[in-house]
Structure 1
Amino acid sequence: MSDDIVVKVDHVSMRFNLSSEKVDNMKEYFIKRIKNNMKYDEFWALSDVTFDVKKGESVALIGLNGCGKSTLLKTIAGVLKPTKGSVKIYGNIAPMIELGAGFDMDLTARENVFLNGAILGYSRKEMQKHYDGIVEFSELEEFMDVPIKNFSSGMLARLAFAIATIGTPDILIVDEVLSVGDFRFQEKCEKRIQGMMKKDTTILFVSHSIDQVKKICNRAIWIEKGRIREDGTSEEVGSHFERAYYAGELEE
């Protein structure tokens, strides 16, 4: 294996069991579960997905809603274990997979900085060094002692991004988080991502904005119904996806 590979996705498939019968209440559900009487339909969110990502690459995962992009990112981040196949990571990951993940909504923004930092593997002392930079980048100085349950989605995204991008992680995973911020802050985030890329951070990126994909990423992987349809430059794959989308050739 090449020494510069940092993510290796090897024949990954992910199956979910979807309940195929109506259950009227929780009591009935638990009784059926205990007696093993629940009937399920199998849903394969990913089917035999294989690719490598090299150090310093910026790779976008594109496709329609429900195609498996987020499931794939969660598998790479270690949140989900694949039903078949394997994922190997070489380096540390800063994941931004779900808005608010790793936060306690009842705690203040200040408290969540240290909580989220601990989840990412940083000591309190390290987070104290980064704290002022996080506040400055997120532009939330007046709100750091406010419980984040009162934050808008845009404010949450600012805080999450500012924490996830402290230092220089080997791999940064960003799933749609930039879509909730205002345009000016999105540009600010894009500049930080580009700065991290210059330091050889690997980027795995999900966005519905093909323009954003082309701007940030040098490679795109098109996922369709849980399988890789195309893997190539972001310019080429992004254009092929847009052409198919606007021609009405894609089915969700």
Structure 2
Amino acid sequence: MTTTGDAHAIEVTGLGVRFRRNRRGRQSIKSMFASSARRAPKDEFWALRDVSFQVRPGEAIGVIGRNGQGKSTLLKLVAGVLLPDEGVVTVNGGVAPLIEITGGFVGDLTVRENVRLTSGLHGMTRAEVARRYDGIIAFSELEEFQDTPYKHLSNGMKVRLAFSVVSQLDDPILLVDEVLAVGDKAFRAKCYARIDELLAEGRTLFFVSHSEKDLRRFCTRGLYIRDHRLVLDGPITDVVEAYNGDNPV
């Protein structure tokens, strides 16, 4: 990932990333070394290939596709969590990633300690963390659990904490995977209202979801990933209709 002064918030050109399929059964260290030299190309597959698009600052982009087609991989490439095997990902400005609910959190640390740690990892100064701490805790509704180890929280609580931290970041690009689906209905409504606020401030949204309702609610433009390639980039209504046409209920 590179960062330049280009006018686009995100620019992806000829992007490709490949992974190796897991072999069945367990191998000894000796057999792993012996087989590495003769590993067949079929052991590898392209999770994404030849993907190109641009995102303007302030756009709200929805990414849709069937499971296993590379949507979350694309999000991680934009976040800089993964590096491409082909092509270039250029991101102009910091990213606030809500990709995995456990990312950056330490199980044995308390909620209070994790807020300070993860906020610092995202670039907040100690003064900023101190100033925003009460707001983060209040939004997450975890006032009674501040001294509880993170590992004892439910998945819903972890989602609330992660979103509360990320939504307080000043980074201009918000990356959201479908982790919000884990939260309860009332908290999702709070999250959606917060996303509306961030969009009104001019933030850029890159949103991976299977929810047609959510995609239409937040996004004006969509990317349809099929067979590990970008097959349609256009208005969100057209993209959702194309996806539904390929995947009738």
Q: What TM bracket, shorter-length normalisation?
A: over 0.9
* Residue of 13, 32, 42 corresponding to 2:16: 13
Q: What's the secondary structure of 2:90's corresponding residue?
A: strand
How many angstroms does 1:2 deviate by?
Answer: 9.5
Q: Counterpart amino acid of 1:212?
A: D
Q: Following superposition of structure 1 onto structure 2, how do residues 1-252 of structure 1 map, counting pairs within 5 Å?
A: 3-20=6-23, 22-24=24-26, 28=28, 30-35=29-34, 36=36, 39=39, 41-246=43-248
Closer/same/farther in 2, CA of residues 136 and 38 from structure 1, 3 Å limit: farther
Q: Counterpart amino acid of 1:68?
A: G
- Structure 1 length normalisation: TM-score? 0.91
Structure 2 stretches lacking a partner, 5+ long: none
Q: Counterpart amino acid of 2:8?
A: I
Q: What's the secondary structure of 2:225's corresponding residue?
A: strand
Closer/same/farther in 2, CA of residues 241 and 132 from structure 1, 3 Å limit: same
How many angstroms does 1:38 deviate by?
Answer: 6.9
CA distance in 1, matches of 2:38, 2:211: 40
CA distance in 1, matches of 2:5, 2:82: 26
Q: What's the secondary structure of 2:231's corresponding residue?
A: strand
How many angstroms does 1:243 deviate by?
Answer: 3.2
Q: What's the secondary structure of 1:51's corresponding residue?
A: strand
Moved more, 234-243 or 53-62: 234-243
CA distance in 2, matches of 1:95, 1:199: 17
User: Number of paired residues?
Assistant: 243
CA distance in 2, matches of 1:157, 1:223: 26
How many angstroms does 1:6 deviate by?
Answer: 0.7
Moved more, 165-174 or 30-39: 30-39
- Structure 2 length normalisation: TM-score? 0.92
Contact kept? 1:32, 1:38, Cα under 8 Å: no
Q: What's the secondary structure of 1:91's corresponding residue?
A: coil
Deviations 1:19-48 (A, max 9, x none): 44x4435xx0x2233443573511100010
CA distance in 2, matches of 1:93, 1:145: 29
Contact kept? 1:168, 1:196, Cα under 8 Å: no
Closer/same/farther in 2, CA of residues 89 and 2 from structure 1, 3 Å limit: closer
Q: What's the secondary structure of 2:9's corresponding residue?
A: strand
Q: Counterpart amino acid of 1:33?
A: M
Counterpart residue number, 1:250: none
How many angstroms does 1:130 deviate by?
Answer: 0.7
Could you tell me the percent identity over the aligned residues? Answer: 42
CA distance in 2, matches of 1:164, 1:193: 11
How many angstroms does 1:167 deviate by?
Answer: 4.0
How many angstroms does 1:245 deviate by?
Answer: 1.5
